[in-house]
Structure 1
Amino acid sequence: MSELANIIVGILFYESDSLKLEELVSLTGKKEDKIKEAINEISEIYNTSNSSINLLSHNDSYQFTITGEARDLIMVRDAKERDGELSRAALETLSLIIYLSHATKNEIDYIRGVQSSYMLRVLVSRGLIARGSKSGNQTIYIPTIETLRFMGLEKIEDMPDYEKIHNDLSVAAKNSFIISE
């Protein structure tokens, strides 16, 4: 596999959402034609082998997906998680999104100090957060009405020490933007 294809594989595994061609160009600094060549190479490797991972591509957007028996096993596990209690990490991620009123994955990762793709997927699948419009190349995650019901709140501002924590986290979120530039 070429170096560029290998880099794109890593980027796509890291992201929980699909990435547009322009985003891959921006992230790698390579031209569109080189990205498309690498995508074709990745597709040949993953989509033609007996792999449980496939590369989806639609309208110049790309995302890895799980197929076959691995997909079935993950779906069973995800169903258990949707129906069970939220983990501490999921509650932490949800709290950040509530206090910030909206947040990008990079902001959440920066504040938590760990990668949050899985937690975001769990919270989206439960309807506790939603994907909002994009901010640049980043999807924004927002609380839903189900969040209020789950937390027993009438409005987001009813969270304990909302103003102070909101302001503190907003400063931290801005720092993540400065660092990521």
Structure 2
Amino acid sequence: MTSLTQHIEALLFTAGEAVSISDLAQLLSAPEQDVQAALGELAQHLEGHALALVTTATHAQLVTSGSVAEFLAQFAGQDGKELSRAAMETLSVIAYRGPISRYDIDAIRGVDSRRMIRQLLLRGLLHQTRTAAHASLYDISEDALMQLGITNKKELPQFEALSKSEHIDQLLNSSK
């Protein structure tokens, strides 16, 4: 494994969330093309391990592989339990309005959502990214979409109406 690949692995492990490929290139003073090649090498290296590399066109993230999901669910005390009403509410807000900040999630729900967000992150139903200002934004994960049996958020019931609700926009604007 090249030193660039090792550095990327260390950065992704330390970040614990999706990191943009352009940020990786900047941090490592390497061309994005080299970073992409190193990500490919890292993905191959991790095959059959407890960690896996998930990449999109713009981001990369180290996650636990599906082969250890059942063990981790038991470890986290989930054992396939249904989501609580609060967790479902939080997931719904994020699915329809994401990417969204915790502050905005709290404003819509009217309560602190930290615990619910953490549970949803542990279950792999959300992914977290950071903005240039280091604020966290949350969105529904590809895993959650698969569990719902859909390929993108636009397939959610009444997505267009609920994702652009003027009432929610007013609520968010009044809370700022």
Give me the TM-score of the superposition, normalised by structure 1. 0.51
Change (3 A) 1:118 1:157: same
Q: Which runs of 5+ in 1 are unaligned?
A: 1-74
| 1:6-85 → structure 2 map (5 Å cutoff) | 79-81=76-78, 83-85=80-82
> Residue in 2 aligned with 1:141?
138
The alpha carbon displacement at 1:173 in A equals: 4.9
1:102 matches 2:72: no
CA drift of 1:94 comes to: 0.6
Aligned residue among 155, 165, 172 for 2:168: 172
TM-superposed CA distance for 1:133, in Å, is 1.9
Deviation at 1:144, TM superposition (A): 1.1
The runs of 5 or more residues in structure 2 that have no matched partner are: 1-71
Q: Residue in 2 aligned with 1:155?
A: 152
The 8 Å contact of residues 107 and 173 in structure 1, kept in 2 or not, is answered as no
The answer for the alignment partner of 1:132 in structure 2 is: 129
Secondary structure of 1:115 counterpart: coil
| Structure 1 or 2: more helix by fraction | 1
2:108 and 2:171 in contact (8 A); partners too: no
Q: CA RMSD in A?
A: 2.6
SS of the residue 1:131 aligns to = strand
Question: Quick one: which amino acid aligns to residue 80 of structure 1?
Answer: G
Corresponding residue SS for 1:83: coil
Name 2:110's counterpart in structure 1.
Answer: 113
Give the whole-Å Cα distance in 2 for the aligned partners of 1:125 and 1:92.
16
Q: In structure 2, how many angstroms separate the alpha carbons of the residues matched to 1:107 and 1:178?
A: 11
Percentage identity across aligned positions?
30
1:135 Cα deviation from its structure 2 partner: 6.3
Q: TM-score, normalised by structure 2?
A: 0.52
For residue 93 of structure 1, give the secondary structure of its aligned residue in structure 2. helix
